[in-house]
Amino acid sequence: MRASYAQTQAALQRAQATAANARAVVERYRPLVEENAISGQEYDAALAASREAQANVAQIRAQLEASSLQLGYTTVRAPIAGEILAVNIRKGEYVSTMGASAQPFIEMGQTDPLHVRIDIDEEQAPRLALGEPATVSPRGAADRQVRASFVRAEPLV
């Protein structure tokens, strides 16, 4: 797709150069036809070639816009600023959007600041000092510790 777009851009540059050359020929022929140095037929042929070259430029520009649009369809853009957290699909894999258990293909989120949801057993809740600084680590990785601060509590009833 990108190669086709690049080829169309190169074709547009060539067509623009040809059109500019054809316009220059028409401008050179204009005083010559007025002085009868060349025939009106030669001038008309140069004028027709110039118009054809301009039409070719317009056609290639339309192709370039269509190619750009097609290229845009192949580009994935995120709806928010963030990082890719998980990719749950592989190249060539069949995709189904049916069913309630459909998991997202790509998980994305903000990691700065990183918000962590922590479940606290009701037995441990009295030991929690809300608003105090804390140190957290992922389950099974006690050696990886991160300083944390309390944001809010959502008590379950």
Q: What is the DSSP string of 17-78?
A: HHHHHHHHHHHHHHHHHHTTSS-HHHHHHHHHHHHHHHHHHHHHHHHHHHHHHHHHHT----
Between CA 72 and CA 97 the distance in angstroms is 23
Helix (H) or strand (E) holding 16: helix 2-34
- Say what the pLDDT of residue 58 is: 94
Contact 146, 134 (CB under 8 A): no
The CB-side HSE value for 2 (13 A sphere, CA atoms) comes to: 2
Quick one: average pLDDT of 39-49? 89
Report the alpha-carbon distance of residue 72 to residue 81 in Å, rounded.
19
Q: In this predicted model, what pLDDT tens digit does every residue of 83-115 receive, in sequence order?
A: 888 888 888 888 776 665 667 888 888 888 777
Distance CA 54, CA 60 (A): 10
List Cα–Cα distances, 39 to 33, 46, 70, 79, in angstroms.
6, 11, 47, 63
Residue count of the chain = 157
Whole-prediction pTM: 0.51
Greatest alpha-carbon pair distance for the chain in Å reads 106
> What's the pLDDT tens digit per position in 121-155?
888 878 877 778 888 888 888 899 888 887 777 77
